[in-house]
Amino acid sequence: MCIIVSMTSTEDVVRRYFSVVADLGSTADDLREVVASDAVFTELPNPISPNGHVRTLDETIAGFEAGKARLSAQSIDIHEILVAGDRAAVRSTWRGSVGDTEIVAHMGGFLTVRDGRVSAHETYDCYEPFAL
C-alpha cells in the first residue's frame, strides 16, 4: 500500500490565501478551500473599521462578497513573508478601486496555518489618506 501525503508549506498556503482574497473573480468556495472552518480573523482598528473587529469564517465570507460587489479593481502585493513553523508574518500593500477612487492600505499581518489551511489572520491595516 502506498500512502501519498501532500505537504504544503506555510508560505504556499499564505500566498494562495492572499491570491484568492485579491481575485475579484474568486468565490466563497475558493476561500473556504484555503481557510479552516473555525478560522478567526482579527482586524485591528483602522479608518474603515475604527473599533476593529473579530470575525468568524462566515462573517469574513460575507465581507469578502460585499467587497467584491463594491470594488471595480483590487490587488495585493506581497513584499515579504517571514515563516516560523505554522506562523507567517506578511508585509503587503492592498489596492482597491471604488469607482474612480483608489484606496491603498499598507498591511502587516500574522497568520497561522493548520492542516494546510489558514486558521487565524490578524491584520494591521495602515490606510493612505482618502476621502470617505
pLDDT by residue for the chain (132 residues), tens digit each?
A: 544 444 589 999 999 999 999 999 999 999 999 999 999 999 999 998 999 999 999 999 999 999 999 999 999 999 999 999 999 999 999 999 999 999 999 999 999 999 999 999 999 999 999 765
Contacts of 102 (CB under 8 A, 6+ apart): 95, 96
39 lies in a domain? yes
Question: Domain range for residue 109?
Answer: 10-127
Q: How many domains does the chain have?
A: 1
CA distance 31 to 48: 22
132 lies in a domain? no
| pTM score, whole prediction | 0.90
78 lies in a domain? yes
CA distance 81 to 125: 16
CATH number of the domain residue 117 falls in:
3.10.450.50
Q: Are 21 and 34 in contact (CB under 8 A)?
A: no
